[in-house]
Structures are given as structure tokens and as C-alpha cells.
Amino acid sequence: MNRARILEIYAAIGETTPMKTDCGALCGAACCRCDDDGRGGVALLPGEAELLAGIEWGRVERDEAMDAPMLVCDGPCEREKRPFLCRVFPLCPVRGREGDWTVRMDARARAVCPLCGSGLHGLDPEFVRGAVRAARLLAEAPEGEAFLTRWAAIEAEFRKPFLF
Ligand code: SF4
Ligand code: SF4
């Protein structure tokens, strides 16, 4: 996707964050810390790696599971450059019953994010609406929809053990 489309997707989320107040104060910004083994990264939308060229706070590697580039972040980042998946965390875009893209709490976030306990209703509704708008915009591009489909499928696998 080109830069203009990616910036449009970012704009759909705007300046909203999971809560009206700084939720990073609750957890020490846990979602921006590396795994215990120092690994981990954020999968990048098609075209997003190009927007990160030259950053000094991370590097782009390969996310094999997503078959996509991935940002390995040594943050703090330049906030206006943070990737899409950072902007929507702790949400995961998924297809709803009618087939439209919507969002739910990402099962992978449970290990780090204290907001997961209260579910979607505990989040700022403007943030949730912005994430849904962004996911639908992203899905208008075939490569964007393919990215969302892979991301949602991996999340669904992770969620399975919690369904029993
Ligand atoms: S882990 Fe959750 S509560 Fe903490 S900064 Fe990230 S989104 Fe906010
Ligand atoms: S890019 Fe920014 S928001 Fe994303 S993990 Fe790094 S520091 Fe956190």
C-alpha cells in the first residue's frame, strides 16, 4: 500500500488511545517492552516498512508467521511513526457475523495488558470505533485484507486454549 493509504488508516484512529488517560501508567507501558528473552516485534502492514526507513529506535526484520516485515523496536519510538498494530493494541481486527471487519480484545494481549480483564467495554469507545474504521479501510486493499486475515487467523489459534 502506498504512503497516502497508510496515513489515511492511521488518521482513522487519530490520536485516540485505549483509554482517555495514559494507560501506560497502569503497567509501565508493558506492551512496548521486549519479551523476557529480548525478542518480539510488531508485524508491519504492506508498505509500512518503507515509512520506517532510517529510524534510530528499531530495525525491520522478517516475521515468518505473518510472512511480512516486522519492526523490532528499541523504543521509545517517534509516536507519529508507530505501526498500525501498535495503534490498535490491545485489539485484534476480526470478521464479525455479517462478514464485516470489526475488533475484539486480542487474546495475545492477555499476558501483558491489564485492560484485557474489562474487555471492549472498558476501553474508550472512540478508540474502538477508530480501530474498526481503520480495519475496514485497510481491508479495502486486497493486500490489506490478506494481512488482516493472517493476523486474525494467528490470533484465533492463540485463543483456542482459552475457549475451554
Ligand atoms: S499494555 Fe495495555 S494498559 Fe499497558 S500501555 Fe499497553 S495498551 Fe495500555
Ligand atoms: S513502536 Fe512505539 S508503540 Fe510500538 S512497541 Fe515500539 S515504542 Fe511501543
Task: List residues bridging with 42 in a β-sheet.
Answer: 71
Q: Is 43 exposed, middle or buried (0-12, 13-18, 19+ CB in 10 A)?
A: buried
Model pLDDT, residue 107: 95
Model pLDDT, residue 15: 96
Q: Is the CB of 123 under 6 A from ligand 1?
A: no
Model pLDDT, residue 35: 66
Model pLDDT, residue 163: 72
Within the chain, which residues score under 70 in pLDDT? 35-39, 164
Ligand nearest to the CA of 88: 1
Model pLDDT, residue 57: 95
Model pLDDT, residue 160: 87
Q: DSSP assignment, residue 33?
A: S
Model pLDDT, residue 161: 82
Q: Which protein residue's CA is at the shortest distance from atom 8 of ligand 2?
A: 32
Q: Which residue has the cell 534510530?
A: 56
Confirm if 154 and 66 have CB atoms less than 8 A apart.
yes
Q: Is the CB of 19 under 6 A from ligand 1?
A: no
Q: Is the CB of 26 under 6 A from ligand 1?
A: yes
Domain spans in the chain, listed from the N-terminal domain onward: 3-14+26-163
Length of the chain: 164
